[in-house]
Amino acid sequence: MKIAISSTGSTLSANVAAQFGTAEYMMIIDLDTGDLEAVPNPGKGQQRGAGIQAVMLAVNNGANTVLTGYCNPAIGRQFESGGIEIVTGISGTVAETVQSFKNRRVKGTDANPDQPAGEASKTENKKYFNAARTALRQLVNILPIMISIVLLIGLFNTFISKQMLASIFSGNPLIDNFLGACFGSFFTGNPINSYIIGGELLKHGVGLVAVTAFVIAWVTVGLIQLPAEMTALGRRFAVLRNFLSFLMAIIVAFLTVSVLSLAGSVS
Amino acid sequence: MNDKNEQKQSSMRQYLKGSILFPILVLVLYGILFLTNPDKAWPALKNSVSILQSLLIPLCLVFVLIFVINLFLNPAKVAKYLGKTSGLKGAVLSATAGVISVGPIYAWYPLLKDLKEKGAADSSIAIFLNNRAIKPFLLPIMIAYFGLLFVIVLTVLMIVASFAIGYVLSIFMDINRPKCTD
């Protein structure tokens, strides 16, 4: 059995970190073999996304239980749904924590020693509740930008006539496809917004090839986040991937519309 | 390391700023329009409201789908899939991880960087990034606009295309690797 302890240093005498996500190190201890490994926490000093990186670290190192001072409830739920036990409120040194954890196991006492019979169904309910809450949050996160885009489309529909659009998207599939991919590459965001914009463009008479290329490039090609991608994954990788994805957007758009017209659903 | 962290944070901050700034700009635009040209502003607003109404039922379905996906999957499991990368199995797992991944791309870059440093293949990361375009929980919206057949054809083609990109990319990365000094 492996346990992970968030700590302020890389030795057994280091203190247990007060915050899980932003701790300096994560100590991975194999209780069966006594092996100990100090892994630097990639989320150290970060404000957002730190917790989830630490969760991945614990999961990737095969921890069964995580011990820490505090971790926010959202992160705690990630652990619970991943089948990892999380124990918070820990203080003192790593060595003390390991010892007291071992004692607890030897005595056979659990974190909740007097677990009532109804507890199992309660955790089951909690799981559904958590999933619903996360779903709601994810949906609410999408909404501000989505509603703004719909509002912009409202303006667009009022001010831009079909003729004006037709002067950009001429109906030549080759040029339209390329233009659609260009627009999609430049703008970016949640895919839902590309569906809405694309769908509205379609209603305005823009060709399906252009709209398809736009929808594909929206997520797969990102000029705006290119600098961030280069920083994270290397310049060559990022440029090459975006370039290939741009080409692929054009090709897939053609293929999609060809397949559909073969199937007879596009006139 | 600190430099990189700061860069990471500043790109994240930019993203957050963008996600607040954009709605504000749109509202300001409407404000100006209502003052200068109310005859056009009303139809624009009505048009937007009718679009939102048509999205209402698909959005409810989206909620249900996110709920179901949340019950069975979480980022920790996605990371498990992505960590293992070998051959066809690795490609399929990366694609799956990409499809089920949620959240803004900026939240994923640090993790991908970490995985790359740990030896995840370039092709796997490219496949992951390209499959983020396919979102099962958004399918109701996509179907509402484009129809079921279109969605099926496009989805299949995009998954195939992501594999092709991963393959071609890894060839190019390998060709140039010995000459590369960084």
Q: What is the pLDDT of residues A209-222, one digit of tens each?
A: 999 999 999 888 98
Going by pLDDT thresholds of 50, 70 and 90, the confidence category of residue A244 is very high
Put simply, whether B17 touches A (Cβ < 8 Å) is no
Same domain as A123, residue A35? no
In this predicted structure, the answer to whether residue A112 has a pLDDT above a threshold of 80 is no
CA of A107, closest CA in chain B: separation in Å?
Answer: 31
CA-based radius of gyration for chain A: 26
End-of-domain residue from the set A91, A107, A123: A107
So what's the pLDDT on residue A82?
65
So what's the pLDDT on residue A246?
95
Retrieve residue A96's tokens: 């003390």
Retrieve residue B5's tokens: 């962290």
Same domain as A227, residue A145? no
End-of-domain residue from the set A75, A107, A139: A107
A216-247 burial, b at 16+ Cβ within 10 Å, e below that, comes to: bbbbbbbeebbebbbbbbbebbbebbbebbbe
Least trusted range by pLDDT, from A24-33, A115-124, B64-73, B169-178: A115-124
| DSSP symbols for chain A | -EEEEEESSSSTTSBBPSBSTT-SEEEEEETTT--EEEEE-TTTT-SSSHHHHHHHHHHHTT-SEEE-SB--HHHHHHHHHTT-EEE----SBHHHHHHHHHHHHHHT--SSTT--TTHHHHHHHHHHHHHHHHHHHHHHHHHHHHHHHHHHHHHHHHH--HHHHHHHS-S-HHHHHHHHHHHHHHS-S-HHHHHHHHHHHHHTT--HHHHHHHHHHHHH--STTHHHHHHHH-HHHHHHHHHHHHHHHHHHHHHHHHHHHHHT---
- Cβ distance A218 to B8 less than 8 Å, yes or no, reads no
So what's the pLDDT on residue A208?
92
Put simply, whether B80 touches A (Cβ < 8 Å) is yes
- Cβ distance B129 to A195 less than 8 Å, yes or no, reads no
Same domain as A191, residue A221? yes
- Which neighbouring-strand residues pair with A37? A28
Structural contact between residues B40 and A159, judged by C-beta atoms closer than 8 angstroms: yes
Same domain as A126, residue A34? no
Put simply, whether B143 touches A (Cβ < 8 Å) is no
Rounded Cα distance, B73 and A127, in Å: 12
pLDDT in tens, A139-196: 887 788 788 888 888 888 788 777 777 788 887 888 989 998 998 888 777 788 889 8
- Cβ distance B125 to A233 less than 8 Å, yes or no, reads yes
Going by pLDDT thresholds of 50, 70 and 90, the confidence category of residue A108 is very low
Same domain as A9, residue A43? yes
pTM: 0.66
Burial class (CB in 10 A: 0-12, 13-18, 19+), A174: exposed
Structural contact between residues A64 and A82, judged by C-beta atoms closer than 8 angstroms: no
Find the CB nearest A155 among B44, B63, B180. Answer: B44
pLDDT in tens, B110-132: 777 777 777 778 888 888 888 88
Same domain as A93, residue A35? yes
Q: Whose CA is closest to B87, among B172, B161, B176, B170?
A: B170
A129-157 burial, b at 16+ Cβ within 10 Å, e below that, comes to: ebbbebbeebbeebeebbbbbbbbbbbbb
CA-based radius of gyration for chain B: 21
- Cβ distance B48 to A151 less than 8 Å, yes or no, reads yes
Beta strand extents in chain B (DSSP E only) = none
Same domain as A154, residue A100? no
Q: Whose CA is closest to A60, among B128, B78, B45?
A: B78
- Cβ distance B40 to A48 less than 8 Å, yes or no, reads no
So what's the pLDDT on residue B106?
66
Q: Which one has a higher pLDDT value, A69 or B179?
A: A69
- Crossing angle for the helix pair B2-36 and B38-72, to the nearest 10 degrees: 140
Per-chain mean pLDDT for chain B: 78
Asked if this assembly's ipTM is beyond 0.95, the reply is no
- Cβ distance A195 to B66 less than 8 Å, yes or no, reads no
So what's the pLDDT on residue B154?
93
Chain B residues within an 8 Å CB radius of A144: 19-20, 22-23
The domain that contains A8 carries what CATH number?
3.30.420.130
Q: Which one has a higher pLDDT value, B46 or B100?
A: B46
Q: Residues 6 or more apart from A144 whose CB is under 8 A from it?
A: B19, B20, B22, B23
In this predicted structure, the answer to whether residue A113 has a pLDDT above a threshold of 50 is no
Chain B residues within an 8 Å CB radius of A212: 154
DSSP designation for B134: -
Q: What is the mean pLDDT of residues B82-111?
A: 72
Quote the domain boundaries for residue A48. Answer: 2-107
So what's the pLDDT on residue A115?
44
| Phi, psi angle pair for B82, to nearest 5° | -70, -30
| Category of B87 on φ-ψ map: left (φ > 0), alpha (ψ -120 to 50) or beta | left
In this predicted structure, the answer to whether residue A116 has a pLDDT above a threshold of 60 is no
Q: Give domain limits for chain B.
A: 55-179
Q: Which one has a higher pLDDT value, B78 or A86?
A: A86
Q: Whose CA is closest to A36, among A60, A10, A65?
A: A10
The helix or strand, by DSSP H or E, that contains position B92, with its residue range, turns out to be: helix B87-100
Give the nearest chain B residue to A133 (CA atoms): B67
Same domain as A87, residue A12? yes
Same domain as A232, residue A197? yes
Rounded Cα distance, B23 and B46, in Å: 18
Q: Whose CA is closest to B95, among B58, B129, B61?
A: B129
Going by pLDDT thresholds of 50, 70 and 90, the confidence category of residue A110 is very low
Same domain as A99, residue A6? yes
- Cβ distance A139 to B66 less than 8 Å, yes or no, reads yes
So what's the pLDDT on residue B178?
53
- Which neighbouring-strand residues pair with B25? none
Same domain as A198, residue A150? no
Domain count, chain A: 3
| Dihedral angle sign, alpha carbons of residues B44, B48, B53, B58 | positive
Rounded (5°) CA angle B56-B60-B66? 140
Same domain as A207, residue A130? no
